[in-house]
Amino acid sequence: MDLASPHTGFVAAAYVISALVLFGLTAFILMRDRRLRAEAEALDHQRAKDAR
């Protein structure tokens, strides 16, 4: 890639925005998954404890 090209800024902007959106989406989905699975597990344990 020729970095001296007049449109390098446009190319860089497209790749940076794509990376930020996809990384942000991945992080959001993974963190939500971790939180919800931990909460479900905790409630499951609590229910089993209450049943005893």
Residues that bind other proteins (CB under 8 A): 1-2, 5-8, 10-11, 13-15, 17-18, 21-22, 25-26, 29-30, 32-33, 36-37, 39-40, 43-44, 46-47, 50
For residues 20, 21, 24, 29, the Cα torsion angle rounded to the nearest 10 degrees is -160
Beta carbon nearer to other proteins, 13 or 52:
13
- Kindly state the smallest distance separating residue 13's Cβ from other proteins, in Å: 5
